[in-house]
Amino acid sequence: MTDHRPVASLSFDLDNVWSFLKTHGDPEWETRPSYLTTATPRIVEFLGESGLRSTVFVIGADADRDDGAEAVRAFAAGGHEIGNHSYEHEPWLQRYSADRVAAEIDRTHAAIVAAGAPAPTGFRGPGYSTSATLERLLVERGYAYDASTFPTWIGPLARAHHFRTATLTAEQRADRGQLFGGAHQALLPLRPHRSASGIAELPVTTMPLLRIPIHGSYLMQLYAVSPRVARLYFSTAVRLCRARGIGMTMLLHPTDLLDRRDAPALDFFPGMGVPAREKFAFMRWVTAAMQRHFTVLGTRDHVLHALEAESSCAPVP
């Protein structure tokens, strides 16, 4: 690679309306409301204007339905990698038995292939949920990487906010007892690495040193308060990543390009009051800033390139 800028990546988690409602405890999720017919062309347009090849992590239950299968084909046709994002998108995946985790991986894998995309080799757990069991099962299935870790200390605060704003039964609260993880996650590496299971791990980047989020939904929440603060915040993150030698792994969701008119059921979600055209323009600014300072790849290429570079720099025994 002749470009000597550090490597970074951009990915989308294709979380659907029903998956947000499910986590929020809204029984309406069972009707499986969807915005994929609106979100898919918006994301394809966004990536096309940015000149980026991305990775789109797809939920298996969506890939098994018509609009989800069409989304898989549209992203694959655009040259984007399709990743496995579990079948039912339950962010308490770490509570499952090995058989149930295996079913989540395998059913999604099969649905993505049936929709017409290459077999996925990357996985991201819903809500950054992961476990040693999950990693072992991914290795056994020949997956190249996992992109589920989120090195931040704010998990307990985010969980407390979720419990205050969502309508949950006692059983649902128990399921969500580890939602967003614990403060100890701030100790996880920010750089791509091999986990104890041997699988390549690509963390979702948080602000170096401070370990606070910089993903799209968090930026949009800041933007809703002050566009200037949001730009300053992200510019600071870019500078810190460059100074610390950390390739940025940027995570976006469809909600980062949609507004309450596109998804009225998600009015509770942060930033949905910002007009979609403003979101689109701001996220284009974010990706342009990344492209100025990094060589931006898909997640698979990012993690494999980073580990290859690390290996080539290792001292000869």
Domain membership flag for residue 92: yes
Domain membership flag for residue 317: no
- What token pair was written down for 204? 């979702």
Amino acid identity, residue 48? G
Q: Where are the alpha helices (DSSP H) in 214-275?
A: 216-225, 227-244
Q: Output the tens digit of pLDDT for each of the chain's 317 residues.
A: 445 789 999 999 999 999 999 999 999 999 999 999 999 999 999 999 999 999 999 999 999 999 999 999 999 999 999 999 999 999 999 899 999 999 999 999 999 999 999 999 999 999 999 999 999 999 999 999 999 999 999 999 989 988 988 888 998 898 888 888 899 999 999 999 999 999 999 999 999 999 999 999 999 999 999 999 999 999 999 999 999 999 999 999 999 999 999 999 999 998 999 999 999 999 999 999 999 999 999 999 999 888 887 665 544 33
The CA distance from 46 to 52, in Å, is 9
Domain membership flag for residue 101: yes
Contact residues for 50 (Cβ-Cβ < 8 A; gap 6+): 284, 287, 288, 291
* Nearest residue to 220 via CA among 180, 292, 160, 278: 278
> Which residue range is the domain that position 293 belongs to?
7-312
What CATH number does the domain containing 23 carry? 3.20.20.370
Amino acid identity, residue 225? V
Q: Burial of 262 by CB count in 10 Å (0-12 exposed, 13-18 middle, 19+ buried)?
A: middle
What pLDDT does residue 313 have?
Answer: 52
Query: Which residue is listed with tokens 């699988």?
Result: 199
What's the total number of domains in the chain? 1
Domain membership flag for residue 229: yes
Domain membership flag for residue 1: no
pLDDT, tens digit (0-9, with 9 covering 90-100), for 138-152: 999 999 999 999 999
* Nearest residue to 134 via CA among 157, 158, 164, 102: 102
Report yes or no: 211 and 189 within 8 Å, Cβ to Cβ. Answer: no
Domain membership flag for residue 68: yes
Domain membership flag for residue 304: yes
Domain membership flag for residue 2: no
State the pTM of this model. Answer: 0.95
The CA distance from 236 to 221, in Å, is 17
What pLDDT does residue 175 have?
Answer: 86
